[in-house]
Amino acid sequence: LLPPRMICTAWQQTRSVGGGLYNLGNTCFLNSVLQCLTYTPPLANYLLSRQHSQSCAEEGFCMMCTMEVHTEEVLSCSGSAIAPTAVVSELQRIGEQFQLGAQEDAHEFFGCAVDAMQRACLSRRSDRDTSSQSSTVIDQVFGGLLRSRVTCLSCKAVSDTYEAFVDIPLDIKAASSVTGALEDFVRPEHLDGENSYKCSKCEQLVSASKRLTIHQSSNVLTVCLKRFDPFSGRKIGKVVQYPEYLDLGAYTSQAPRGPLLYSLYAVLVHEGYSCQAGHYYCFVKASDGRWYKMNDDSV
């Protein structure tokens, strides 16, 4: 649907930082995610080109068309703010679990928003096969592939499975940095006892080693720090350090020929002591190269 050469990871035009977003009633989770998406250069370049809407035949709600209008409006109102009504009014079309006025999870909304954009890109396709899904602008911006390799410790047979991702959730209970959490993410896991592996070659339960690696890296890497404990409901409030530049090479299936370097451009923050309440805001790097704090209508 979109040739890879059309993805440009650098800003194609420099503008002043855009406007803020009014909070329409506990919509800080939505505002923060929208701002991060607006300042994602390859996505913004495509949205500002209006390529999708020029050929879109969707009669009802289309997330891509909505994001095109939203991005242009935000980046054109520097020094002021807009109400993200077009997105808020269609909240349940983006994710049916969201309730207007309720405090929601930003990471969950991010996943639903990306999925809604992917569905919009595929709306004209009758056969939504794997090749179509991996050639949309959304998959080319956010999509990557994880490899899970299980090695039988008896016969050394190897079994690989692959899973697509748009973000990588990182456990931070034992890590104090993003790089440390990534090291834990790819650290081999020993399978034995109740977790023994059924080897297809040995044809029995055996001890095995399982390792998860990034097999195909994404143009835009999104990591989510798992701050909310699903059992206690408590928030893990520890400080987690992250670099401005991240070399992903050490966490991939095969070592790249050179550095696989990523440059930080957005950080979404949850402020509060509980996963049930709090406030979201974000920091973004605009096309002028400067960092801005986006806190609802305040820039």
Which among 258, 296, 264 is positioned nearest to 280, based on CA atoms?
Answer: 296
Q: Name the percent of the chain in helix, strand, coil, to the closest 5.
A: 30, 30, 40
Which among 6, 74, 101, 32 is positioned nearest to 294, based on CA atoms?
Answer: 32
Residue with tokens 């009504």: 85
**Helix (H) or strand (E) run with residue 181 in it:** helix 178-186
Q: Which two tokens mark 132? A: 């179509």
Burial of 138 (0-12, 13-18, 19+ CB in 10 A): buried
Q: Is 224 a catalytic residue?
A: no
Q: Is 28 a catalytic residue?
A: yes
| Rounded Cα–Cα distance for residues 124 and 56 (Å) | 8
Q: Which of 56, 202, 224, 279 is catalytic?
A: 279
Dihedral Cα 57, 58, 63, 67, nearest 10 deg: 40
Q: Which of 28, 36, 121, 282 is catalytic?
A: 28
CA angle 100, 296, 293 (to 5 degrees): 145
- Tell me the residue type at 70: H
Furthest C-alpha separation in the chain: 67
CA angle 272, 33, 289 (to 5 degrees): 105
Catalytic residues: 28, 279
